[in-house]
Structure 1
């Protein structure tokens, strides 16, 4: 079920672009991720972004499996989703574009267009992101936000809210501030877990 937050994100993330000779509905996965972060106030760690996009690409491949959709089309769209690229579907063609490639193909049939359009469900990205554990880093005293946050070896943006979507499994949170001892938390998190990490720095 698509919640109000996701509907607001869709309004800003799903745009109409023009591809001669027909109009194309363009879906940018990079913008979807950014919109989700902006609306939720959460930071998505690089590992979670990759995992969520990979799962979304797998969903697309599953939904188009066995249908009359060319393998080249399916593979190109899945690659664009997995690389946070964009997919533009028009009445007569599909364009899948990502940092290292592009596929632009004419439809073989109306059925092919319909199957692909139906399988491209932007809300799937949100559903996958929400399955990951959330860590809340609480640093005191604040302000200023002059500390560094590292999660599983990846530097992430330090924010006032301190909300982070992290990978399932072993998680290491390290918070450092000049002239203070580091704050370190280690644990194992499951799908949907929420963990607060309190740091006095």
Structure 2
């Protein structure tokens, strides 16, 4: 990757991190204030809009082939992410301890829910089947796991440490998006497999 490409990649990662984290902070404020408009909760709608923008930017950066079908797929996993954040926050609403049963259940839900969302995201970026959860390369699976862990740790520390919490949120998101950017550009098949396929053909 050239120095220009590295700067471009860093710019994309920083941009989507700022957008996502600003949206999450706004979502948390609105959710805790229980704000509604004509009986509809405002917080998840705001988060859905922000995450749609963030995911669309990352998709365009990773793969310029941005069609109506791709946007529909993005909408699908974005809606899932909004549900994940909402359920996670609800599970944490009755605890402030890091090691309480509610906190552990919330952490488990976060990992499982966001692993699914991150895997679908990678599938869309790399044009794999939408609900494919068995990666052809272990490095992609490892990347998705690391994305999920970094975001989960950052998010939990965000809520745990009050005024300085957003620092952890941003750090976790930066790591997550950096990994996502790299993993999204990996070939989905190994060179050995491709070489064998070419030989057999």
Fold shared, TM-score > 0.5 on shorter chain = no
Q: Which is helix-richer, 1 or 2?
A: 2
Report the TM-score, using the length of structure 2 for normalisation: 0.35
Larger Rg: 1
Q: Which is strand-richer, 1 or 2?
A: 1
